[in-house]
Amino acid sequence: AQTVTQSQPEMSVQEAETVTLSCTYDTSENNYYLFWYKQPPSRQMILVIRQEAYKQQNATENRFSVNFQKAAKSFSLKISDSQLGDTAMYFCAFRPGSGGSNYKLTFGKGTLLTVNP
Amino acid sequence: DAMVIQNPRYQVTQFGKPVTLSCSQTLNHNVMYWYQQKSSQAPKLLFHYYDKDFNNEADTPDNFQSRRPNTSFCFLDIRSPGLGDAAMYLCATSRGLAGTGGNEQFFGPGTRLTVL
């Protein structure tokens, strides 16, 4: 079974600064997908960024980028130029690339990020 | 805009009184999921439908049932809610099941269930 660990329950950052959220995972799979989801207060969860394990290049989406270290099983999220609207719970998630449970997302416990003005 | 809609957003029920939560989607996705998310915890998958095929997670209590009358709608039925069932219930959809690109899950805003 896969596990996803987010070791930072809460973080804060000043507006316009950069913050990095940590995520580690454990799996015996070689092919898988990693995700960061954002859940703002009282709003729906949305996909921020996605990484395919077989791709060495780190995914980027505008101000969001990841540092994917496959050997270390690490998948951190960097938010540049933080904005007040980035305040949310951030979940790291894992999904196998094949097999009978390849639909199943395993989530970490989340990191609550607060962006301060 | 194509989206996942959940009604109601807030639901209050009494201990032991059956309750139904609703999810609809305009994405025309094949798969619909139900998650339970307790306060400050990660979402936990209860079950999913691939088209009309129902798939229950092994640790989902029998108290939780689901119906999918058509592609667009999926319901979560809690037959006898207990205090421990108070949570946010999230509906999600995806085009397919396979772990390839394009099968990301799209989430609805959730229904917060309170059990008195």
pLDDT tens digits along B78-103 = 999 999 999 999 999 998 876 555 57
pLDDT in tens, B32-82: 999 999 988 889 999 999 999 999 999 999 999 999 999 999 999 999 999
Q: Would you call B83 helix, strand, or coil by DSSP?
A: helix
Task: Identify the pLDDT of residue A1.
Answer: 75
Taking only the tens of pLDDT, chain A with its 117 residues reads 789 999 999 999 999 999 999 999 999 888 899 999 999 987 789 999 999 998 889 999 999 999 999 999 999 999 999 999 999 999 999 988 876 666 788 999 999 999 999
Pairing of strands A3-5, A24-26: antiparallel
Cβ contacts (< 8 Å) between B106 and chain A: which residues? 47
Closest-CA distance, B39 to chain A, in angstroms, reads 11
Instruction: Please report which helix (H) or strand (E) contains residue A47, including its range.
Output: strand A46-52
Residue with tokens 């007040």: A84
Sequence-distant (≥ 6) Cβ neighbours of residue B42 within 8 angstroms: A91, A107, A108, A109, A110
Q: Using a CB-CB distance cutoff of 8 angstroms, which residues of chain A are in contact with residue B90? A: 45
Q: How far is A114 from chain B (nearest CA, A)?
A: 15
Contact criterion met (CB < 8 Å) for A103 and B31: yes
Chain A and chain B share a number of CB contacts under 8 A equal to 50
